[in-house]
């Protein structure tokens, strides 16, 4: 049950950060780079919770 809660919280945090990045007044190219970085960090975090790493 703890694993499920951790996964859910991680997904919610990733979604919130991506939403906040979209709201920032930045150049579109920089915004895309930041979004890709957030997604990669999120995937690594999810894989860590699933004990892949």
Q: What is the pLDDT of residue 49?
A: 81
Q: What is the pLDDT of residue 6?
A: 84
pLDDT tens readout for residues 1-45: 778 888 899 899 999 999 999 998 989 999 999 999 999 999 998
Q: What is the pLDDT of residue 29?
A: 94
pLDDT class of 51 with cuts at 50, 70, 90? confident
End-to-end CA distance of the chain: 20
pLDDT class of 53 with cuts at 50, 70, 90? low
pTM of the model: 0.80
């Amino acid at each position: 049950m703890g694993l499920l809660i951790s996964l859910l919280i991680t997904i919610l945090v990733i979604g919130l950060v991506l939403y906040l990045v979209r709201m920032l007044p930045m150049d579109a190219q920089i915004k895309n780079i930041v979004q890709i970085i957030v997604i990669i960090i999120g995937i690594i975090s999810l894989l860590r919770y699933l004990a892949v790493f």
